[in-house]
Structure 1
Amino acid sequence: MAMNLSEIVIDGDTPGAVWRFPVFRFKGSASGAPSVYIQAALHAGELPGTALLHILLQKLVEAETQGLIRGDITIVPHANPIGLSQQHFGEIQGRFDLGSRTNFNREFPLISLSNRENLLDGLESQNAVDQLKRQLLHMALGADLMLDLHCDDESLQYAYIDPVFWPEAADLAEAMAMDAVFLSDGESTAFEEAVGHAFKATSPAAETLPGRLAVTVELRGLADVGVETARRDADGLYRFLVMRGVLAGEAGVRHGFTGAVSTLDQVEVIRAPEAGAVFFHRTIGDRVKAGDLLATVITRPGLAEGDQPIHAPQDGLIVTRASRRYVRRNGNLMKIACTNPSARTRPPGTLED
């Protein structure tokens, strides 16, 4: 059976406005093989995942001709046409819906798998963003494995994974050559955690859910969109699908995941004490020691006494860094993966809005 290309239509909230996005589906040949749903660019301007899926789809078309597709595969290369259209003076505003001021990756319905079909009930009465969210979640909950592809600002490759899927998901971290894994707490309404919530609701007492996966993959930084990078990431994701039996083939020699693993409470989110221009003294991929100088915020240009040095609170690996060189008070500058809990109190849920 050939790849199926369909289109989901989202009715806009004003006369004449309609949103469309394509969905690619491959039918698996083996009953019992795991199914997978993969989407990219839920935050519309985050395009490394879209580039990856562009290459992966070409590889899957070839795999289909060779009869290598064992499990059902659903792919949405760009999951947010609404956000993509939100441009303000040439800058894509794809993280938040400008109408509701809601993060496109928050406020997904937290339901059980048994209520999946209810997501589409009364869809025509929902606003456009909720139509989008319900359609995406409905597709994802029809699969065993869900990968939501995002990116950070300047960043290494890392993932957010609920502990219920770890360490089984180390195969993904290995295949994608990730540098770090953040073990999320399941306390938000982000897409990954809404899917995980439904999976966990099937076995509330289970400490692990073998054969299931809901993960947010952070594909480096916003500017990391290029053909060689996309090919390398597509190769890694293809290898993961072979590892999980979605595709037939040889996964090659397994070396295991050797990157950093931190709970969210062990991630130091470095913030600016005051607003100003930023000198960074360390970059992503650096391993730092407690007390190392990370950055200097220039709060009073021309007056050295206004400089605010920022030091590492503990040893760790710099995973992300802000790309802009002006920061507001309390703005995020870095995330550092550590082995000890941060002294900073963190509310449950995501590290950022």
Structure 2
Amino acid sequence: MDVSEIIVPGDTPGTEWRLPVLRFKGHDPKAPKTYIQAALHAGELPGTALLHFLCERLRQAESQGAIAGDITIVPQANPIGAAQSHFGELQGRFDLDSRVNFNRDFPLISIADRSTLIEDLDDYPATNRLKRQLLHMALGADLVLDLHCDDESLQYAYIDEAFWPEAADLAAALDMEAVLLSDGESSAFEEAVGFAWKYEIPGERRPRLPGKLSVTVELRGQRDVDPALARKDADGLWQFLSARGIVRSEMTTAAAFSGPAVPLDNVEIIRAPEGGAVLFHRNIGERVAAGELLATIIIRPGQPDGSIDLHAPQDGLILTRTSDRLVRRRGDLMKIACGGASKASRRAGALEN
């Protein structure tokens, strides 16, 4: 294993950020190249734990000559966000300087222009330099996995329709309970990777990308940083790498993915109509029918008509739930994967900011 660091100079004198990069050299130049990163939202650590245990296996495989394709791993992809603390609370999702989500505003370029990402880096602030270097590394691979987690959540993934159903092997290996088929219209990291491949010839969009994969994996919830879960997920990812011919292994084939795979338009996002204390009646992983009671928000405690009940707009599987119990007006409470399209309007791109 080769360990190096990318140094990202800060925007004020005397500051800099260090980004560790772990590389495993494969022996077969024809095997797929893989890039995996975690903690782009710095407080989302299930992926960091997974990669810690996966690297144990990769080091052993490397010593046995069992790595076919090059593997690049960035286990903590956002040192800038990891250093952001406000009143004792980590603020790892949004850049406190620009107020932009760390997983938005990645450059949308053609793969032919990959080298331009790291040209004239001094012209950009630190966060943009970090994003450009992460994207540059990822575009040197064939398979790109961006490991995140949600708040309280099942295991699921965002996968561009251009990679589906080929990517069902990843969903099966990681025992995902749902897949959300994205439209590739945002500037999030995994969609910026897909954009570069789709528009290899500028102006000409490739609708299918066989042999390629760029995916956001949601490894349950923020508090699911657990050694048993991390080892289980590392085993699943190892199985995926084995099935794709990147590592040599005798592991058995994963069962077929059996969960729902629905477009983003079929995701109902339950939002709070007013702020208050939320009481959930249903939990993640439960299937609900249209009209069932999901949550009660106490908006005026102790007063007549001081609460609001929220009901399921259609049948579906509860994927996520907020861990907050004091919610703001229009705050997201739940995501429900459904068989039909939501009646709520949705702009193209990501589900949330």
**2:163 equivalent in structure 1:** 165
**Pairs aligned (count):** 351
Q: Deviations over 1:119-175 (max 9, x none)?
A: 111012211001100110000000000000000000000000000000000000000
Distance 2:225 2:20 in 1: 21
Residue in structure 2 matched with residue 47 of structure 1 by the alignment: 45
Q: For 1:21-56, what per-residue CA distance to the aligned partner results, in whole angstroms no more than 9, with x for missing partners? A: 100001111121000000000000000010101111
Retained in 1: the 8 A contact 2:243–2:253?
A: no
Which residues in structure 2 correspond to 1:231-242 (within 5 Å)?
231-242=231-242
4+ residue stretches of structure 1 with deviation over 4 A? none
Distance of 2:151 and 2:343 partners within structure 1: 24
Q: Mark the CA change 1:250 to 1:206 in structure 2 (over 3 Å): closer, same or farther.
A: farther
The alpha-carbon deviation at position 304 of structure 1 amounts to 4.5
Trace 1:176-195 onto structure 2 (pairs within 5 A).
176-195=174-193
Matched residues, percent identical? 64
Question: Which structure 1 residue ranges, 5 or more long, are not aligned?
Answer: none
In the other structure, the counterpart of 1:94 is 92
Provide the C-alpha distance between the structure 1 equivalents of 2:142 and 2:210, rounded to a whole number of angstroms.
10
TM-score (norm 1): 0.98
> How many Å apart are 1:287 and its aligned residue?
0.3
Distance 2:301 2:57 in 1: 52
| 1:253 Cα deviation after fit | 3.2
| Equivalent position amino acid for 1:298 in 2 | I
Partner of 1:230: 230
Matches within 5 A, 1:182-331: 182-202=180-200, 204-331=204-331
* Structure 2 counterparts to residues 29-44 of structure 1, below 5 A: 29-44=27-42
| Aligned-partner Cα distance in 2 for 1:177–1:303 | 46
Post-superposition CA distance 1:270-310 (Å, at most 9, x none): 00111000000000000000001000000001124121000
In structure 2, C-alpha distance between the alignment counterparts of 1:167 and 1:251, rounded to whole Å: 22
State whether residues 199 and 206 of structure 2, in contact with CA within 8 Å, keep that contact through their aligned partners in structure 1: no
User: Deviations for 1:177-221, whole angstroms, at most 9, x for unmatched residues?
Assistant: 000000011111000100000111137453321110000000000
CA distance in 2, matches of 1:320, 1:112: 34
Letter of the 2:4 partner, please give it: S
For residues 238 and 165 of structure 1, the distance between their equivalents in structure 2, rounded to whole angstroms, comes to 20
Q: TM-score, normalised by structure 2?
A: 0.98
Following the alignment from structure 2 to structure 1, what is the Cα–Cα distance between the partners of residues 329 and 337?
A: 22
Q: Is the partner of 2:218 in helix, strand or coil? A: strand
Deviation of the 1:109 alpha carbon: 0.3
The CA RMSD over aligned residues, in Å, is 0.9
- Greater shift in the superposed pair: 64-73 or 194-203: 194-203
Pick aligned residue for 1:67 from 60, 65, 68: 65
